[in-house]
Structure 1
Amino acid sequence: MMTNQAFDLSGKRALITGGSRGIGLAIAAALAQAGAAVVLNARDGAALEQAAAGLRAAGHNVASQAFDVMDPASVERGVAAIEADGAIDILINNAGMQHRMAAEDFAEADFDRLMAINVKGAFFVAQAVGRRMIARRRGKIINIASVQSELGRASITPYAMSKGAVRQLTRGLCAEWARHNIQVNAIAPGYFRTELTSALVADPAFTAWLVARTPAGRWGEVAELGGTAVFLASAAADFVNGQTIFVDGGLTSVV
């Protein structure tokens, strides 16, 4: 019989990449409210500490560890430093970027940087944490995908490619690591108000299109991703593996 205890994250420790703002910070807050100790990661140490201080002020157990997800050696050092203070039970693989440009004009350097953060970074963080989870025979990995892993949209083709790769990363790691009692799932947010979407939020025409296109009739707020993250990070999801859950106000369910 399911009880609230199944969703309790007390005694668990979570690493959130890209955790200094936006979706990452909102998910960190939700996990902390569910009882987890959280470790925020980003490259900008000052922004990271400011975010951590805000969560501590709310009474949460928060640490921070700066490293660059694009550099596997930096990832390994950062994960090792975190693990020296205690096991990582939950990984939120959230670090990512967006770059809007017509496909015919997309520069190679911009393409490589986007893939390095969104795809290479997600894989090597999962690898560094996953090796340790395998040794312990337990763990939860939650990758942050996007509705653009399912839908195409002009000007973001490489981004959509990268998020499709994140969905396949989720399935592939499930195939390899489920036998080690590791659950690997993904959350695919729809259109949420974040730093990455600020240009679209400021565009009245786009907002009008979005409101008309989304059954919920509005933008999502990042706090609304917290419940799904807590579920996937908890014992309630112990037999959920390789799945992508769309949190999009119904956008991908209708025509």
Structure 2
Amino acid sequence: MYLPSFSLHNKLAAITGATKGIGYAITMAYAEAGADVIVISRTEDDVHKVVKEVEQYGQKGYPIVADVKDYKSIISQIESTLPGDETIDVWVNNAGMNIRSNAFEVTDEEWDQIIQTNMKSAFFLSQYAARQMKEKQEGKIINISSVAGHVALRTGVVYGMTKSALIQMTKTLALEWGEYNIHVNAIGPWYFPTALTEKLLENEEYVDEIKSRTPLRRVGELKELAGSAVFLASDASNYMTGQTLFVDGGMTIYGF
């Protein structure tokens, strides 16, 4: 009676940054749950490789090769790639970046790059997806934020600002679009093995500090994050909007 509500059968999901780390884990989880997936990433070989993996689950995969900063290209490619009757049911703003400069060292170029990648693209791609969702009066938008959007971390001030902005954007879009049955939620991860954290997790002393600030005393596994993304994309979360799920091993209980 309840488990079928977690299915993504007959859903079309789009995921930015879909070929590595968190985005890849979500892409595979969605395909396994029954969704067709629009695979969006910058590297053509990686995109086509992941599309083939999606198809191994018996689902359709649509390749979109673009940097999220060029969100207009993403929109154009989707419109030229999808069959005429296909519309997006789930949009995941996952692509992100960080430059770990302290506040005295941040440059104009770093500011623009992080803001455009983490925040500007997420807004305008959400706007694009929501216009389709409004027409059919249903849809799910999921923003990948971070615990750095909730507590102060040594991750770089601009990165933290963008992740905080995603949490606030989630709330405001949920408020505006709720009348169209569009659900907007976010996920706030702590440390998982990704390209952004790879070097840090090679530092044993740093990992020990992470563990000491995490009630579960370990770094997360990507499969432990993917389930929350399936939940937020599925009918099981139909009475939930404007929320951020912190998948953090309990870290945000007391911060870092």
Per the normalisation by structure 1, the TM-score is: 0.95
Aligned equivalent of 2:224: 224
Deviation at 1:237, TM superposition (A): 0.7
Aligned to 2:239: 239
CA contact (8 A) 2:12 2:89 kept: yes
Gaps of 5+ in 2: none
User: Is the contact between residue 75 and residue 128 of structure 1 (CA under 8 Å) also seen in structure 2?
Assistant: no
The 5-angstrom pairing of residues 1-255 of structure 1 reads 3-57=2-56, 59-84=58-83, 86-254=86-254
Does the C-alpha gap of structure 1 residues 187 and 51 become closer, same or farther in structure 2, counting only changes over 3 Å?
Answer: same
The farther-off stretch of 41-50 and 171-180 is 41-50
Partner AA of 1:245 in structure 2: L
Change (3 A) 1:173 1:83: farther
Residue 195 of structure 1 aligns to a residue in which SS?
A: coil
The one-character-per-residue Cα deviations of 1:220-252 (angstroms, maximum 9, x if unpaired) are 111111111111111111110000000000000
Deviation at 1:89, TM superposition (A): 0.5
Check 1:90–1:108 CA distance in 2 against 1; reply closer, same or farther (3 A cut): same
Structure 2 contact 148–155 (Cα < 8 Å) conserved: no
Cα displacement (A) at 1:109:
0.1
C-alpha distance in 2 between matches for 1:125 and 1:210: 33
- TM-superposed deviation, 1:47: 1.7
Superposed CA deviations along residues 105-146 of structure 1, whole A, max 9, x for unmatched, are 111101110000000010011011111111111100011000
CA displacement at 1:59 relative to structure 2: 4.6
Query: Which moves more between the two structures, 81-90 or 117-126?
Result: 81-90
**How big is the shift at 1:48?**
1.1
TM-score calculated relative to the size of structure 2: 0.94
Cα deviation for residue 172 of structure 1 reads: 1.1
Q: CA deviation at 1:70?
A: 1.3
Structure 1: stretches of 5+ with no match in the other structure: none
46-55 or 150-159, which deviates more = 46-55
Q: CA RMSD in A?
A: 1.5
Q: Distance in 2 between matches of 1:130 and 1:67?
A: 20
4+ residue runs over 6 A deviation: none
Equivalent residues, number: 254
Secondary structure at the aligned position of 2:104 is classed as helix
Sequence identity percentage: 39
Structure 1 window deviating more from structure 2 (68-77 vs 84-93): it is 68-77
Aligned residues of 1:79 and 1:129 also touching (Cα < 8 A): no
**Separation in structure 2 between the aligned mates of residue 143 and residue 154 of structure 1, nearest angstrom:** 22
1:185 to partner: Cα distance: 0.3
Task: Report if the CA contact (8 A) 1:10-1:34 is conserved.
Answer: yes
* Structure 2: distance between partners of 1:254 and 1:9: 35
Aligned letter for 1:18? G
- Secondary structure of the corresponding residue to residue 176 of structure 2: helix
SS in 2 for 1:40: strand
